[in-house]
Amino acid sequence: MDETRDHERPPADLTVGLLGPVVGVLGDREIDLGPPLQQAIVAMLAMSSNRVVTVSQLIEGLWGDDPPPSATQSIYTYIAGLRRALEPGRRRRQPPGRVSRASGGYLLQLDPLQVDAHLFAARLDAAAQARKSGDFAGALRAIDEALDLWRGPALSGVPGPFADGERARLDQLQVTAVETRADALLRLGRPEEALGELYELVHRHPLRERPGELLMLALHGCGRQAEALAVFEEARRALSDELGILPGEGLRRAHRVVLSGAGEPAAPDHVKPRQLPGDLLVFVGRTRETVRLRSLLDPWGDEPPHPFVVICGPPGVGKSALAVHVAHMVRERFPDGQLYVNLRGGTPNVPRPSTHEIFSRLLRGLGTPDSAIPEDEDEAAALWRSKLQSGRLLLVLDNAADLAQVKPFISAPRGTAVLVTSRESLTAGDDCAQVRLHPLSDAEATAMLAKLVGADRVSADLDQTTHLVRLCDGFPLALRVAGARLIDRPDWSVGALTMRLTDERRRLRELEAGDLAVRSSLAASWNALNGSTRELDGEAAHLLALLGLLHVPDVTVEAAAALSESSPVDVERALERLCDAHLLEAGEPGRYHPHDLVRLFAGDLLPAGERIAPLKRAIGYYAESARAAARTSDPHRVHCLYPPLDVRGRGFDSADEARAWLRREETILLAAAFQAMADPDDDIARAGAGIALALWWYQQAAYRVPGLISLGEQLLATGERLDDRVITMEGHAHIATGLYLKGDWAACIQHHEWHLRLARLLGDRFNEQRAHGNLAGTLMKWDRCSDALEHALAQRVIARDIASGPGERYALLVAGRAYTGLGRFKEAAITLDEGAALADQAGDSLRQVEFTVARGLVLIELGERESALALLSEVLEPARATGMKMTEVNCVVLLARAHRLLGRTREAMRYSIEALVLAEQMGSPYWIREATREREAATGQRSVTA
């Protein structure tokens, strides 16, 4: 086609879609682009945006070498129709603006990136650039954005040689994009995610070698060597039978990888993390321990470092300081980087970071973007292990609670070492070399204090210095805090600080020996703030006392403001002052956490009478914020607002913001809920129950089985203690939900029945219908369809009486499923269609998807499998978008079944494998059985008719 200069481009209010049926969107509405031949002209002009396409080129693109006699006139007619569609407001004699005549042809004035085919190519270019630079996570994101543009076969329904050629070109680009996506997933250590689309590519293009090569590597990465070798044999036979050739180098190389058991080479990673905290300027003693640690981590000659080294001892004895000090000394032995994670194992009653959170931090330290970190723990572990294979890294895991917390991270390849600090002995670990720390001797402690505050100051009163170091019990943390106080108060003698510490002995007798001096030293720091004449110091001291009330891993400025009834600005200043005084540590922007021992110290600062009100405010803030997040993220559910609270939480502008907040704060909310429900104050305990109840829908959607059950058990205990039947009833609902997700139907039904009894006893019609619905859903899983139908119909009657739209929609959903299970398909279809109409009216997208999936099962049972396949294929992406894992896996299982019953074994295999991966990620025995059943049926290992 002839190229001309770019014309002035109009505003980007028109977009053209060619990756599927040809569509045009003008502003916010879709426009009619006319008959198929006129759509072909749209495609030709859009692919040459801002360039002239001659009339002869248009004729050839529509009819090839055999145009009709009226071809030229037809072109004029189609252009006129196109102008009317694209410029509906243009007056009759006004010159055309969008489609103009120039140089013997026509041009469409349009930014090429407003055409999805051009945007697709641009995103593929971006993916290629990212891949070239080694950024496979970035390449994956760009490819996903490109593939998301496709709505079906390119130029669907458009005739003519141009459309035929362009369709073939775009289809090849799509296949290449899918291959590149699979390659990126392999290089990111996520082979399971690539299996489904690779199976499909191999089926669609049996003579194309690259999909077979990638499928072999993906299966090999999943530990499925036999299946990988079977793919090679099938490809070899196809190439020989159809083309008379042998497999190419790519397939042969993959074959060698599988046979040798070697892994696919990882993507180059140029990140060299240097995460060690700064080394201490003053470090004394520990000579013997330092020599031992250095010999383990940096041995003579070619010996590799010991893979698992532990420093253990009581709190405050200097484990972290020694670990960091030695790590700096040996860091040249680990040229590929040093990683550091604080495991917070010494903090009582506070949830530790999960194994997945730790893997995520480590992978981020190695330069892995958040989007490339798998959500599944096992996949994250596999990616972490793959990252370790080619490097020599030092991993410092500080403050481990026990061996179980560090066990997933201590299997390191040759050349990599893991250095752990813990209060516990970890000698039970395989190949563990342990160094135990004891308090410093009087001489070492005095030398340390002299280096901190000056030898002249220490020698001026040796008796008081000896008294001071003995009060500190030789613990470096206590000595360091004492030294800091003396540095901050140059007019104080050592004896003046010693007397202050001596005044604290009444409290110290209640502590273990390892904590005595640490708490005393922290008290001196706090007293210095509290006794200061500066207003900010007094505010900071009071805030630290308040923070000691909360047993959560960290706090935000907003939570601290609620706790203290202060403005966020004032609270942030006080938090920063505490950081300056080394009583708090700053984490991510806006988040703060005290050292473990500071938290213990601060918890005893307030008298009992002053503890209730601030703790009630903080727990109430968490409860109301969780409620707001739940309502915003899932507005079509009914969320429990019990108990009523007279506090304000934070708000959210969008569902995405609310869901992100819940993901980020879930650990904090759970810690606050458990702490509050165990509190002796009734109001605080009820507010803690409010946090738990606000998390119910979120934890169900996220498949938090242990969390739901443990929260439910705590709710039962709290309800019994308070004689609060509402909390007890909700506790049964929580436990039942967790047991439902776990697949323990019998125990689940018992708790649902308790829920129903208590709802009736309380006269709570909403919870009565809710319990009926939950019983119905569980009975369906137990194949008790008649009983399920009875409860579903009972739910609907009550839901309609109390005008509960969500309740009625769920009742119709379960009733439709029950009718299906009973073989009453006509009633099932009527019921599901009625429910879908109600969901559509309410804008309830989750239920709309669930009704559609249930309708797909009805079609399968009626033998209308092609219709079922079309319906389920259309709803798969919306099912994924709901975030409800059960809905997604249900849809995928039914897709596998529909393909199997249509005799499409390869597609059935692909979807059954995808379903099995999803089910295993969920940890759902029920869906694992269903997915396995379909997979075995697809391979002929099991005879299944439906």
Q: Quickly tell me which residue has 């002249």 as its tokens.
A: 456
Q: Is the pLDDT of residue 9 over 50?
A: no
What's the mean pLDDT in 697-706? 85
Q: Does the pLDDT of residue 511 top 50, yes or no?
A: no
Mean pLDDT, residues 456-479: 82
Strand order in the sheet with 53-54: 53-54, 105-108, 99-102
Most confident stretch, 35-39, 93-97, 354-358, 762-766: 762-766
What single DSSP character describes residue 610? G
CATH classification of the domain holding 106: 1.10.10.10
The residue among 743, 767, 799 that closes a domain is: 743
Condensed to tens digits (0 to 9), the pLDDT of residues 620-672 reads: 999 999 999 999 988 877 788 888 888 899 999 998 899 899 999 999 999 99
What pLDDT score was predicted for residue 631? 92
The tokens of 55 are what? 């009339």
The whole-number pLDDT of residue 269 equals 40
Nearest of 687, 714, 684 to residue 626 by alpha carbon: 687
Residue 346 has pLDDT above 70, yes or no: no
Q: How confident is the model at residue 945 (pLDDT cuts 50, 70, 90)?
A: very low
The pLDDT of residue 925: 87
Q: Is residue 228 part of a domain?
A: no
Rounded to 10 deg, the angle between the 725-742 and 765-781 helix axes is 20
Which tokens go with 633? 């993220």
**217-231, 255-269, 675-689: which range is least confident on average?**
255-269
Residue 582 or 222, more confident: 222
Tokens representing residue 816 in the block:
């439709």
Interval 25-60: pLDDT, tens: 888 788 888 888 999 999 999 999 888 999 999 999
Query: Which residue from 178, 176, 247 is spatially nearest to 209, judged by alpha carbons?
Result: 247
Most confident region among 48-57, 78-87, 571-580, 746-755 by mean pLDDT: 746-755
> Within a domain: residue 37?
yes
Tokens of 475: 């613990």
pLDDT at 207: 86
Q: Quick one: pLDDT at residue 282?
A: 64
**Taking residues 7-29, what's their average pLDDT?**
76
pLDDT above 90 covers a percentage of the chain that reads 44
In a domain, 446, yes or no: no
Rounded to an integer, the average pLDDT of 205-233 is: 88
Instruction: Using pLDDT thresholds of 50, 70 and 90, give the confidence band for residue 528.
Output: low
pLDDT for 267 beyond 70: no
Q: Which has more pLDDT, 369 or 424?
A: 369
Alpha carbons 871 and 713: distance in angstroms, whole number: 41
Please tell me the total count of domains within the chain. 4
Domain boundary among 695, 710, 743: 743
Highest mean pLDDT pick, 13-27, 285-299, 800-814: 800-814
pLDDT of 822-859, one tens digit each?
999 999 999 999 999 999 999 999 899 999 999 999 99
* Domain range enclosing 175: 1-188
Distance of alpha carbon 321 from alpha carbon 761, whole angstroms: 59
Classify 157 in phi/psi space as left (phi over 0), alpha (psi -120 to 50) or beta.
Answer: left
Residue 21 DSSP SS3 = strand
- In angstroms, the CA 195 to CA 145 distance is 19
Q: Of the spans 141-145, 151-155, 520-524, 794-798, which averages the highest pLDDT?
A: 794-798
Q: According to the model, what pLDDT value does residue 146 have?
A: 92
Would 542 be classed as within a structural domain?
Answer: no
- pLDDT value of residue 942: 55
DSSP notation for 622-649: HHHHHHHHHHHH-TTSPPP-PSP-S---
- Confidence band of 507 (pLDDT split at 50, 70, 90): very low
pLDDT at 74: 86
Q: Looking at residue 288, what is its pLDDT?
A: 86
* Cβ neighbours for 891, distance < 8 A, ≥ 6 positions apart: 849, 853, 856, 872, 875, 876, 879
Q: Which two tokens stand for residue 218?
A: 């993906």
* Beta-carbon-side half-sphere exposure of residue 821 (alpha carbons within 13 Å): 19
Query: Residue 183 corresponds to which tokens in the numbers above?
Result: 């390659």
For tokens 């997915």, what's the residue?
931
Q: Considering only CA atoms, which of 581, 584, 311 is closest in space to residue 438?
A: 311
For residue 552, tell me if it sits in a domain. no
% the chain with pLDDT above 70: 91
Instruction: Specify whether 23 is located in the same domain as 131.
Output: yes
Contact assessment for residue 439 and residue 329, using Cβ atoms and an 8 Å cutoff: no
Can you tell me the mean pLDDT for 744-767?
95
Q: What's the chain's length in residues?
A: 946
Rounded average pLDDT over 175-197: 88
Would residue 76 count as lying in a domain?
Answer: yes
pLDDT at 516 over 60: no
Q: How far apart are CA 170 and CA 381, in angstroms?
A: 37
> H/E element holding 308?
strand 308-312
Max CA-CA distance within the chain? 116
Q: How far is residue 379 from each of residues 161, 300, 374, measured CA to CA in Å?
A: 47, 36, 6
By mean pLDDT, which of 231-235, 317-321, 507-511, 863-867 is the weakest? 507-511
Nearest-angstrom CA–CA distance, 147 and 168: 16
- Mean of per-residue pLDDT scores for the chain: 86
SS (H, E, C) 653-668: CCHHHHHHHHHHHHHH
Token pair of 503, please? Answer: 């005044």
Q: How confident is the model at residue 428 (pLDDT cuts 50, 70, 90)?
A: low
Q: How far apart are CA 685 and CA 619, in angstroms?
A: 9
In a domain, residue 786? The reply is no
Angle made by CA atoms 611, 617, 619, in degrees to the nearest 5:
95
Q: Is residue 559 part of a domain?
A: no
| Integer Cα distance of 396 and 442 in angstroms | 29
**What is the pLDDT confidence band of residue 404, given thresholds at 50, 70 and 90?**
confident
Q: Please indicate, yes or no, whether residues 181 and 308 belong to a single structural domain of this protein.
A: no
Q: Is the pLDDT of residue 809 over 80?
A: yes
Distance CA 4, CA 641 (A): 65
pLDDT over threshold 90, residue 188: no
Q: Is the dihedral of CA 581, 587, 591, 594 positive or negative?
A: negative
pLDDT in tens, 892-927: 999 999 999 999 999 999 999 999 999 988 888 889
User: Which one has a higher pLDDT value, 11 or 605?
Assistant: 605
CATH of the domain at 906: 1.25.40.10
List, for residues 435-453, the tens digit of each pLDDT value. 988 878 888 889 888 888 8
For residues 344-360, give the mean pLDDT: 72
Whole-number pLDDT of residue 747: 94
Residue 859: per-residue pLDDT: 96
Of residues 478 and 178, more confidence is placed in 178
Does the structure show a pLDDT above 70 at 399? Answer: yes
Which tops the pLDDT comparison, 692 or 511?
692
**Final residue of a structural domain among 188, 223, 257:** 188
CA-nearest of 272, 259, 433 to 337 is: 272
In angstroms, rounded to a whole number, what is the distance separating the alpha carbons of residues 49 and 44? 9
Spell out where 532-668 has E strands. Answer: 555-556, 585-586, 591-593
Q: In this structure, are 851 and 723 located in the same domain?
A: no
Of 806, 906, 815, nearest to 858 (Cα)?
A: 815
Spatial distance between the Cα atoms of 797 and 811, rounded to a whole number of angstroms: 9
CATH number at residue 293: 3.40.50.300
